[in-house]
Amino acid sequence: MLSLYNLIVHFAGFLLKIMALFSPKMKLFVDGRKVVFPVLEQKIKPNDKTIWFHAASLGEYEQGLPVIEKIKVQFPSHKIVVTFFSPSGYEVRKNNTVADVTVYLPLDTKKNAQQFLKLVHPDLVFFIKYEYWPNYLAELKKSNTKTYLISGILRKNQLFFKWYGGFYREALNTFTYFFVQNETSKKLLQQLGKTNVAVSGDTRFDRVATILEKDNSLDFISDFKDNTITIVVGSSWPKDEDLLVNFINSNTFHVKFILAPHNIKEQQIQQLKNSITKKTVLFSEKEGKQLADFDVFIIDTIGILTKIYSYADIAYVGGGFGNPGVHNVLEPATFGVPILIGPNYSHFAEAIALVNIEACVSVANQKELNEALENLIRNDDIRREKGHISSTFVQMNEGATAIILKNILNDYI
């Protein structure tokens, strides 16, 4: 099976080069990998000590960031190397300040794995949440490099638990320790004979909890809000926006809306703006405007949604009408905001938990959305209660980073 896997990886590499001719995203994926080895040769010397973190995309990077920051403090003489698989992670965080080197992860061929590890020669390796690359893991095992899975999550439908997944199960033997999010993941690993497992929880709670320690003020958002109940819509997709625009256009409440779409392409932003009958302003057009005079503020930029959530009285988190599902609900939760989401959230433990404790409401259609928003707008007590439950939920689940660091330091020293 490993031979078949390697054949598939090589074929995928060839196919991606063809796709790159037609897809800007695939072009980034392919072109970004062309410079990885030269960059590593330039930035990492043979006598440098390094620690390597791998994240599939932006979400996993943010998830691992608390651990990266703590490791950087504990190992100040080591260079931190961060790799991404996806352009959506690398392109957003390629200029981060926590890592000394940030690059794409070359495709998982044996040759790439050997060359990458020869150049990086890490003392410690961390894979965040998932992504198990057999050739990289095999080479790490050969070199006896301490390798950890952090904020891991396992499901029965993964390849490890299939009769034909033997080479993937073998890859798990590389890991020095598994730090998983829940008991289900621990039990699944134990079924494979793994005893080097601890339930540490999810480091994302530590990540979002630190947001409260930062300056989240945005004067232009404060001007727009103007002490009015404000509904913040984060990472919305067209299906979310169809329902929300209907509510915006028809409601008679004295409320304001901030929309931060997932896709900020100019054409889509203009379509969204044109569909709204209330007085609407774009972030890119805000200069010189009396923002308090507008009812809807569309954020056609990236990087400020987290701060905007701090101004929300109610939050709607998008993605729940598509696959794989809802986006990050923990950011509004940490600010003590009641949350609405679409129906597709079954793969996200934190969303399930927030729904179960009634801090978050899942809506499946226009009627349910209207009723949920009207209830939260009308009832200050319900709004505050759900918001309090949200923030308490985040606070009670902090601590994963400390558990991971304690075990790793005991193991390494």
| CATH code at position 338 | 3.40.50.2000
User: Considering the chain, what percentage of its residues have pLDDT values greater than 70?
Assistant: 99
Q: Which are the contacts of 120, defined by CB distance < 8 A and separation ≥ 6?
A: 40, 44, 50, 52, 81
pLDDT given at position 410: 81
Q: Could you give the CA distance from residue 26 to residue 9 in angstroms, rounded to a whole number?
A: 16
Which range is least confidently modeled, 25-29, 186-190, 203-207, 254-258? 25-29
Q: Are residues 359 and 382 in the same domain?
A: yes
Q: What's the domain range around 93?
A: 25-201
Q: Are residues 123 and 174 in the same domain?
A: yes
Amino acid in position 254 = H
User: Considering the chain, what percentage of its residues have pLDDT values greater than 90?
Assistant: 84
Q: Are residues 295 and 321 in the same domain?
A: yes
Residue 413 above 70 pLDDT? no
Mean pLDDT (the chain, rounded): 94
Task: Give 409 or 271, the one with higher predicted confidence.
Answer: 271
Query: Could you tell me if residue 154 is inside a domain?
Result: yes
Query: Could you tell me if residue 16 is inside a domain?
Result: no
CB 350 within 8 A of CB 320: no
pLDDT given at position 368: 98
Q: Are residues 228 and 331 in the same domain?
A: yes
pLDDT given at position 167: 82
84 DSSP assignment: E
Query: Could you tell me if residue 235 is inside a domain?
Result: yes
Mean pLDDT, to the nearest integer, of 208-232?
Answer: 96
Q: Could you give the CA distance from residue 350 to residue 328 in angstroms, rounded to a whole number?
A: 9
Mean pLDDT, to the nearest integer, of 363-381?
Answer: 98
Residue 411 above 90 pLDDT? no
User: Edge to edge, what strands does the sheet with 280-282 contain?
Assistant: 280-282, 296-298, 255-261, 229-236, 314-317, 339-341, 360-362
Rounded to two decimals, what is the model's pTM?
Answer: 0.86
Residue 5 above 90 pLDDT? no
pLDDT given at position 80: 98
pLDDT band at 283 (very low <50, low <70, confident <90, very high): very high
Residue 388 above 70 pLDDT? yes
What is the crossing angle of helices 203-211 and 58-74, to 10°? 80
The catalytic residue positions are 60
pLDDT per position as a tens digit, 108-144: 999 999 999 999 999 999 999 988 999 999 999 999 9
Domain boundary among 168, 201, 234: 201
Q: Are residues 73 and 186 in the same domain?
A: yes
Query: Could you tell me if residue 284 is inside a domain?
Result: yes
Task: Give the length of the chain.
Answer: 413
pLDDT given at position 79: 98
pLDDT given at position 376: 98
Q: Are residues 131 and 258 in the same domain?
A: no
User: Edge to edge, what strands does the sheet with 124-128 contain?
Assistant: 101-104, 78-84, 49-55, 124-128, 146-152, 177-180, 197-199
pLDDT given at position 323: 82
Q: Are residues 115 and 160 in the same domain?
A: yes
Mean pLDDT, to the nearest integer, of 257-262?
Answer: 97
The continuous run of DSSP H or E covering 149 comes out as strand 146-152
Q: Could you give the CA distance from residue 81 to residue 52 in angstroms, rounded to a whole number?
A: 5
pLDDT given at position 286: 97
Q: Are residues 258 and 343 in the same domain?
A: yes
Q: CA separation (Å) from 321 to 114, 245, 300?
A: 42, 15, 21
Query: Could you tell me if residue 191 is inside a domain?
Result: yes
How many other β-carbons are positioned within 10 Å of the β-carbon of residue 30?
20
- Per the listing, tokens 């005893």 go with 195
Query: Could you tell me if residue 14 is inside a domain?
Result: no
pLDDT given at position 344: 96
Token pair of 378 as six digits:
């009308």
Please give the tally of structural domains in the chain.
2
